[in-house]
Amino acid sequence: MDVTVGGASKEDPSDPEEHKSIRNSTRDPTQGLANLTVPTYKRLGHIRNRVQCHGTELREWCELHRCLSRPWRHHNSRQRTRRIRGLRGHYGREAAWKERNSVRKNCHHRKILISSNGNSSVSLMDNPDPSPSPVDKAAENFRYYASTVYPGRSPLYVSLAMRVAEDPELLTIAAKAWEKNALPNLFFSAVHFLLLKGEHHQLAAFYPSLNNNSKHYDFAYPYFRSFVLEHKNEIEGIITARFVQTNEVGRCAILVPAFGLVARHAKNRPLALIEIGSSAGLTLLWDRYYYQYDNSLRCGDPKSPVKVECLLRGGKRPPVPKRFPEIASRLGVDLNPVDLNNPENVQWLQALVWPEHQKRANQLELATQVARDDPPQIIRGDALEIMPSLINRVQGDSQLCIFQSFTLSLANGEPRKRLEQMLAKASEGRNLFHISLEWPRNSETPLLSLASLNSGEVIERILARCNAHGEWIEWLENPY
């Protein structure tokens, strides 16, 4: 083997004769490849060596190299890999490299074929680079939630999401529902749901909803993985049949000031409420709860079993109404309404609450009882299709107010535009208000906005920043 020292070329005495013959011979360069001492994971065709070997597929080289006996597959691989440098020269390395770069720019797959006479040729495959697989998309989802959504809110889910994102076997299970929104929440809720139903497993010890003394979340993953694999079929059935339909009662504390502004502009006329994506309808009953923002800012019925606390941030106070406006009617629309008379549906709503958030779970339980006593009307269907008919039901002497919370956050593009166009068209016959509590992709926090629509003209203002679960609100400049 030639070794360059100070610009001079010297012969390596340790270079085996068969390697010299391969380098110096002008015969078929694939002869004698079986004697190359390159370990298994450094072969040209091996997946771990694609970058080093420029993604080439030297099939003859690979086939011959598979015949190597174990002693030849030594761990001392770097020098031995370099011994094929002379061999690669026969394959037109420099020309193939230039061609490869040009192929990369065109985003095509490439394959370098070696003919029997040692000449190389580059073949372009017709199809462009494939899009990410469902498993890849699921992994990206779990990474996003582990780094953005769960930190500071759910230590257990942070730990689990980070590990699931690197576990192909669990990702394959989660990918069964990769097209659904909030996949990590859906996947973790399916596990939580089975535990709440009474499945006995050591994993339950790490869930605060099942064990008040749970801690050491970093040790939970082996038990979590074991549980998922043991209940694989059940979990796949849950995530394909159910949806993330969180009825977060705490968000009502964010919506209340916006409803107060609508009532003020309506000159205290009764409000006709229509909620998009109402699920079980718990936020439709926002006027049945009691709210406390600080010691001096409270509203609602003090006798209500549902008490919602919300911290104030910033120097401005939200215009919370001293008295709630009268509600003329309330309607909800959802693709999959939740029937609270079904115990499994109620348990699913509980499973959607993160295990550490016992306060939210208690609020949900109490609000569920209020909704059972006087359930709101919820219509099954696509809001974009049936909204015009729902608007026509509203009587003319009441103020129409359409609202939604965390319904359109993941619906970019056409659905959002269609809703805006539909509401603008509906406002040509009557004025209406649209309250939106969503988490835009370009925002660090959820935003509360209020839009006034009259004769097709839309005036929208951002009212507040807030927490996703209604734990705090930062009121901005009052636009009115």
How large a percentage of the chain has pLDDT more than 70? 71
CA trace torsion 420, 421, 426, 431 (10° rounding): 50
* Whether residues 236 and 211 fall in one domain: yes
Alpha helices, H only, 25-180: 59-65, 78-82, 85-89, 93-105, 134-144, 155-164, 168-174
- Condensed to tens digits (0 to 9), the pLDDT of residues 91-144 reads 444 444 444 444 344 444 444 444 444 444 444 444 445 688 999 999 999 999
* Whether residues 189 and 295 fall in one domain: no
Q: Which of 106-110, 172-176, 360-364 has the lowest mean pLDDT?
A: 106-110
**CA proximity to 196, closest of 406, 375, 355:** 355
Q: Is the pLDDT assigned to residue 324 strictly greater than 50?
A: yes
User: For the chain, what is the radius of gyration of the CA atoms?
Assistant: 32
* Whether residues 432 and 382 fall in one domain: yes
Better pLDDT: 444 or 417: 444
Judge whether 257 and 316 are in contact, CB under 8 Å.
no
CA–CA dist 372, 280 (Å, integer):
10
State residue 143's pLDDT score.
96
* Whether residues 387 and 335 fall in one domain: yes
**CA proximity to 236, closest of 183, 163, 162, 160:** 183
Average pLDDT, the chain: 79
Better pLDDT: 191 or 109: 191
- Tell me what the mean pLDDT of segment 138-155 comes to: 93
Burial of residue 135, with CB atoms counted within 10 A of its CB: 0-12 exposed, 13-18 middle, 19 or more buried: middle
- Tell me what the mean pLDDT of segment 4-29 comes to: 47
Q: Is the pLDDT assigned to residue 340 strictly greater than 50?
A: yes
* Whether residues 423 and 274 fall in one domain: yes
* Whether residues 102 and 197 fall in one domain: no
Residue 480 resides in a domain: no
**Angle (CA) 335 341 342, round 5°:** 75
- Report if pTM > 0.85: no
Better pLDDT: 318 or 18: 318
Better pLDDT: 440 or 192: 192
Q: Is the pLDDT assigned to residue 384 strictly greater than 90?
A: no
- Condensed to tens digits (0 to 9), the pLDDT of residues 26-81 reads 444 444 444 445 555 444 444 444 444 444 445 554 554 555 444 444 444 444 44
- Condensed to tens digits (0 to 9), the pLDDT of residues 245-283 reads 878 999 999 999 999 999 999 987 999 999 999 999 999
Residue 222 resides in a domain: yes
Q: Give the pLDDT band (50/70/90) at residue 163.
A: very high
* Whether residues 345 and 463 fall in one domain: yes
Judge whether 431 and 224 are in contact, CB under 8 Å.
no
Token output for 263: 């009532």
Better pLDDT: 211 or 89: 211
Token output for 323: 């008295």
CA–CA dist 85, 33 (Å, integer):
13
How many structural domains does the chain have? 3
Q: Is the pLDDT assigned to residue 322 strictly greater than 70?
A: yes
Q: Which residues of 342-365 are buried (b: 16+ CB within 10 A; e: fewer)?
A: eeebbebbbbbbbbbbeebbebbb
The DSSP symbol for 146 reads: I
- Tell me what the mean pLDDT of segment 442-461 comes to: 90
User: What is the tally of helices (H) and strands (E) in the chain?
Assistant: 16, 16
Q: Which of 108, 128, 148 is a domain's end point?
A: 128
Judge whether 459 and 451 are in contact, CB under 8 Å.
yes
* Whether residues 279 and 197 fall in one domain: no
Judge whether 435 and 273 are in contact, CB under 8 Å.
no
* Whether residues 346 and 375 fall in one domain: yes
Judge whether 84 and 36 are in contact, CB under 8 Å.
yes
Q: Which of 128, 157, 182 is a domain's end point?
A: 128
* Whether residues 117 and 175 fall in one domain: no
Query: Residue 24's domain spans which residues?
Result: 2-128
Residue 464 resides in a domain: yes
Residue 467 resides in a domain: yes
Q: Give the pLDDT band (50/70/90) at residue 444.
A: confident
Q: Which of 83, 100, 128 is a domain's end point?
A: 128
State residue 280's pLDDT score.
93
